[in-house]
Structure 1
């Protein structure tokens, strides 16, 4: 059986932190706009507070139906990239002294072809329809 090609994965450490956040705050999603203020850190937002724009792109889903969204601009930069959501220690700046970060690598030719065969990613406009 062939493995499913994913554009976004999560480390075991980040999975533990994500689960804890969901237990404490309810369903969340990740969004990374790529704006100058965001740096390399995705924002983790409660679903109730998340504002997904119609041009935003869904990169993938993580455990517990947690979606990872990026701006259209960021998607253009990352469309050939695989992301792994991780956490790093940050000395008390975020929940439980950790901060979500993304680690990136280029997609292999096989991964890129499989993702292209699946059609374009869902957009925020699709989410609202």
Structure 2
């Protein structure tokens, strides 16, 4: 089964560093408010998730959520979480590191879409 969300090695290294500093984490793919459409990293439980959120999977052992309506737009793609230099979302934990998480994507192949039932 293809993964709906993955992370680059650089992103995984930053996730590990943030876990050491902040403990358990969670991600939520922002839907465009305040900080654009950045993947936001929080201490686990700091952002409430509910029926309008979809758990896409885990990256570096950290749960990654996306709003259900945004998922409908992106369900045909694999999200690839990367990290680049620069200031990210003001509420996301990586900001003080001088880095920001970034979402890249690729369209699932036809066979992957079939496996995922989309």
Shorter-chain TM-score above 0.5: yes
Question: What RMSD in Å do the two structures reach over aligned CA positions?
Answer: 1.9
> Aligned pair 1:101/2:90, yes or no?
no
Gaps (5+ residues) in structure 1? Answer: 118-129
SS at match of 1:30: strand
Residue-pair matches, total: 113
Gaps (5+ residues) in structure 2? Answer: none
Structure holding more helix per residue: 1
> Aligned pair 1:55/2:56, yes or no?
no
Partner of 2:68: 72
- How high is the TM-score relative to the length of structure 2? 0.86
Shift in Å, 1:38: 3.5
> Aligned pair 1:34/2:31, yes or no?
yes
Structure holding more strand per residue: 2
Question: Which runs of 4 or more aligned residues in structure 1 lie more than 6 Å from their structure 2 counterparts after TM superposition?
Answer: none
Larger radius of gyration: 1
